[in-house]
Amino acid sequence: MQIKKDIRTYSTSRSMACVLMIFGVQDAMADANEVTPVQVIDAIEATFGVTPGERRNHTKGTCAVGEFVGTKDITRFSRSALFSGKQIPVIARFSLAGGNPKAPDTAKSGRGMALEFKLPDGTLHHMTMLNTPMFGAAQPRTFLDFMVAIKPDPATGKPDSERIKDFKASHPDSKAQADFMSHNNPPTSYANSAYFGIHTFKFINQKDQTTLVRWHFVPQDGEKQLDEAALMSAPANFLESALIKRTAQSAAKWDMIITLGEPDDAQDDPTMTWPSTRKQIKAGTLSITEAMPQKGASCEKINFDPLVISDGVAATQDPILLFRSPAYAISSSKRLSGQ
C-alpha cells in the first residue's frame, strides 16, 4: 500500500519536534509527580538493557497495514474524520511489552496494538492499546518503581522476589492489571486478542458537545488464549509468523467498540475499569490486510504518540496518558539517532 513513506516522514519529524518540548514538560511533571520521562526511560534501559536503534519498551514487534472504516452514526458523538464512513489507510504495529527483543511469545506480559490512521486531509490519528482492560499504574511513579523492582539481580540474573513483593504491597494501583494477566494466558495469535485504549478520551461533536468514552477492539476471529500445554511447548517466536500467515489468507478484522461514560466515571485513572452496565456502540471496523517483519517496514520508525489525535477527539488529564507522549518522544529520538 502506498502510504508508507509520507507517514513515516511525518511521524519522524513530529517526534523530533516533541523532543524540543520535553524539558519544559519534564519540569511541570517533576513538580506534579516527582518523576520525569528521562528517569523512566533510564529505568527501562537499566532493566532490559539497550538494543541500539530499537524502541525502549515494546521492543519486539511486527508491522502490518490495512484500513479502517468508521461508523457514520458515531458523528453524533464525534466530528472526527475517523467516522466519516470512508476507507482510512492504517499502519499498525503489534508487540510484546518490555524491552527484551528476544522475549518469548509465551511470556505473561502485555500485548500491544498501535495504529496510525491517515485521515483524508492528510492529518494523522494514533491509538496505542494493550490487551488488558486496564493499565498497571495510576501515576508515573508506580511505573518507574515497577521498572526498578523487576531489574534483574546481577548475582542471579533474575528479579529479586522480595523487591517485587514490596513493590506490590506499596503500590495497590498495580494490582488490577497484575491480577488480570495472572488469570488470562497470552493469546494464540495477535489476531485472536482484544485490545483496549485503557485511557478515557473525550468525543466532541459538531455542536461542541462532549462525551466521555473509552474504546476497545474486538477480534472477529474470536478471542483465544494459549492453554497450559501450549505455554510450555509453543516456540519462542510464533506470533509474527501466525499473523503473516493469517493475513495472507484474508483480512484479519476487529470491531471498534466505544463505551459511553457518565460524569462520575473515572476519567484520570487508567487502572480503574468502568461498570459493565455502560452503553457500548460499534464505532467501526479495522481490517489488517498484510503483516510483515518490522525491520525496514512502514511501522518501524513511527512514534505512536497517543496524543496525536484528530479534531473531534480530546485527551483527559490522565497523568499516565499525558506522560506517555514525552516519554515516547525521548525513546524515539534515541532510536532514530541509532542509540
**Any idea which residues carry the catalytic annotation?**
58
Cell of 320: 499516565
Task: Tell which residue, 185, 282, 181, has the closest CA to residue 228.
Answer: 185
The rounded distance, in Å, linking the Cα atoms of 337 and 339 is 6
Residues 6+ apart with CB under 8 A from 147: 40, 43, 44, 46, 47
Which residues, in sequence order, are bridge partners of residue 114?
A: 93, 128
CB 277 within 8 A of CB 261: no
CB 335 within 8 A of CB 21: no
- Coil, strand or helix: which one is 295? coil
Residue length of the chain: 339
The rounded distance, in Å, linking the Cα atoms of 61 and 197 is 18
The rounded distance, in Å, linking the Cα atoms of 129 and 215 is 9
What is the bridge-based pairing of β-strands 313-315 and 210-219? Answer: unpaired
What is the bridge-based pairing of β-strands 210-219 and 195-196? Answer: antiparallel
> What is the crossing angle of helices 319-336 and 37-48, to 10°?
60
